[in-house]
Amino acid sequence: MSILFCLFLQIKREIATMKLIKHPNVIRLHEVMASKTKIFIVLEFVTGGELFDKIVNHGRMIENEARRYFQQLINAVDYCHSRGVYHRDLKPENLLLDAYGNLKVSDFGLSALSRQVRDDGLFHTACGTPNYVAPEVLDDQGYDGAMADLWSCGVILFVLLAGYLPFDDSNLIDLYRKISVAEFTCPPWLSLSAMKLITRILDPNPMTRITIPEILQDEWFKKGYKPPVFEEKDDTNLDDVEAVFKDSEEHHVMEKRKEEEEQPTTMNAFELISMSKGLNLENLFDAEQGFKRETRFTSKCPANEIIHKIEAAAKPLGFDVHKKNYKMRLESSKAGRKGNLNVATEIFQMAPSLHMVELRKAKGDTLEFHKFYKNLSTCLEDVVWKTEEDMKEVN
């Protein structure tokens, strides 16, 4: 099976999985669309950032705050498991926060469905992030997706309360050894009940590890617990997912052309200063020092209008025009003294309503470039705001 096809199946699986999950603590996938070249996924808009960033910026949490996030995480994971979905890469980086501080599980790229288990009822694909992965996943003897997810939840709870990882080592072999025997120590500031729960979750034996129903009855977990309230509708429709991956023409959406998507390159003050002739030594090496090999002008016209005006002015002068975004190559159809004259043109944005246009001789005779620019500028009188000479006078 090719790598591309495996990637195709993985993307399809992630999209289909997210459409199955409709829970207040899981990122909601609203719609999936496709053009001829892209897949567009419309997700719930979550503005609070990653839980990971909160830990990095503020350090460990007090138990009440950590408990609230852990309760929401267990609610989400329990729901996913009830729908036959196993995340397999739970970590703070994949837990987002909304504007109200509610946790949202995201990134189902490594998720698996219950129908993907082998005949022994276990998963056999080792995946996940090393510091958060369960020991049975590393053993490569098959594992229960629910128990592996629960182990990751235990690591997350430890990180929330301690501010650091329970299993960490620069040597991967030593890290795996610590995970396989659950070699960790709880910090002294944790309450006894919190330590007890973490120890029961981070049990290296999945057969004796605490289960989610048991967690829901745990003394530490139950404090202030509020079960999620939401209306579950069994109206999941995967038709749009199937249509996208069957490349159905009738389901394609129109996307903007690249010329419409791109913007002119923005030029900052330092780049503008560097263009000053006082800092430019190129002309010292120019055999035809009487004529410039490049020139510029500014314009208050929109960038697209400048492009169209230059194209309209260059064609009657015998130049073929090749465009790519906000760059152009003007190529003379007649050979001159040093071959065909080629002029490179680019538009830079200096401010929202001010653009600078640079024309540079890319090939050909410098004198012919000078004559071409004089003829071109005559046709661009309604576009040009200030020429390079005007700008020098201002300076």
| pLDDT, tens digit, 9 for 90 and up, residues 335-349 | 888 888 999 999 988
φ, ψ at 105 (rounded to 5°): -75, 135
Q: Give the model's confidence band at 306: pLDDT under 50 very low, under 70 low, under 90 confident, else very high.
A: very high
> Mean pLDDT, to the nearest integer, of 57-81?
94
Residue 32 makes CB contacts below 8 A (sequence gap 6+) with: 15, 19, 39, 40, 41, 42, 240, 241, 244
What domains does the chain contain, in order, with CATH numbers?
Answer: 3-251 (1.10.510.10), 265-394 (3.30.310.80)
- Of 157, 168, 165, the residue nearest 195 (C-alpha): 157
Q: Give the model's confidence band at 240: pLDDT under 50 very low, under 70 low, under 90 confident, else very high.
A: low
Residue 203, phi-psi category: left (phi > 0), alpha (psi -120 to 50), beta (remainder): beta
Whether pLDDT at 382 is above 80: yes
Residue 361 makes CB contacts below 8 A (sequence gap 6+) with: 293, 294, 341, 342, 343, 344, 369
Whether pLDDT at 365 is above 60: yes
d(CA 367, CA 290): 9
Q: Give the model's confidence band at 255: pLDDT under 50 very low, under 70 low, under 90 confident, else very high.
A: low
Three-state DSSP state, 39 = strand
> Mean pLDDT, to the nearest integer, of 15-33?
81
> Mean pLDDT, to the nearest integer, of 168-192?
94
- Provide the percentage of residues in the chain whose pLDDT is more than 70: 76
User: What is the average pLDDT score of the chain?
Assistant: 82
pLDDT at 233: 62
- Of 188, 168, 187, the residue nearest 179 (C-alpha): 168
- Of 254, 322, 294, the residue nearest 388 (C-alpha): 294
**pTM passes above 0.75:** no
Whether pLDDT at 249 is above 60: no
Q: Give the model's confidence band at 282: pLDDT under 50 very low, under 70 low, under 90 confident, else very high.
A: very low
Residue with more model confidence, 17 or 159: 159
- Of 110, 83, 115, the residue nearest 19 (C-alpha): 83
The label of the residue with tokens 């246009």 reads 357
> Mean pLDDT, to the nearest integer, of 224-237?
74
pLDDT at 329: 92
Whether pLDDT at 70 is above 90: yes
Buried b (16+ CB within 10 A) or exposed e, 13-50: bbbbbbbbbbbbbbbbbeebbbeeeeeeeeeeebebeb
- Provide the percentage of residues in the chain whose pLDDT is more than 90: 38
Q: How many helices (H) and strands (E) does the chain have?
A: 15, 13
Q: Give the model's confidence band at 262: pLDDT under 50 very low, under 70 low, under 90 confident, else very high.
A: low
Residue 258 makes CB contacts below 8 A (sequence gap 6+) with: 325
pLDDT at 281: 40
pLDDT at 74: 96
Q: Identify the top-confidence range among 43-52, 214-223, 246-255, 265-274.
A: 214-223
- Characterize the bridge pairing of strands 265-266 and 339-351: parallel
Answer yes or no: 239 catalytic: no
Residue 339 makes CB contacts below 8 A (sequence gap 6+) with: 363, 364
Contact, 124 vs 88, CB < 8 A? no
d(CA 54, CA 347): 41
Annotated active-site residue in 78, 89, 144, 365: 89
- Of 141, 138, 142, the residue nearest 117 (C-alpha): 142
Whether pLDDT at 187 is above 90: yes
Residue 53 makes CB contacts below 8 A (sequence gap 6+) with: none
- Of 140, 136, 211, the residue nearest 180 (C-alpha): 136
The least confident of 227-231, 241-245, 295-299, 306-310 is 241-245
Q: Give the model's confidence band at 284: pLDDT under 50 very low, under 70 low, under 90 confident, else very high.
A: very low
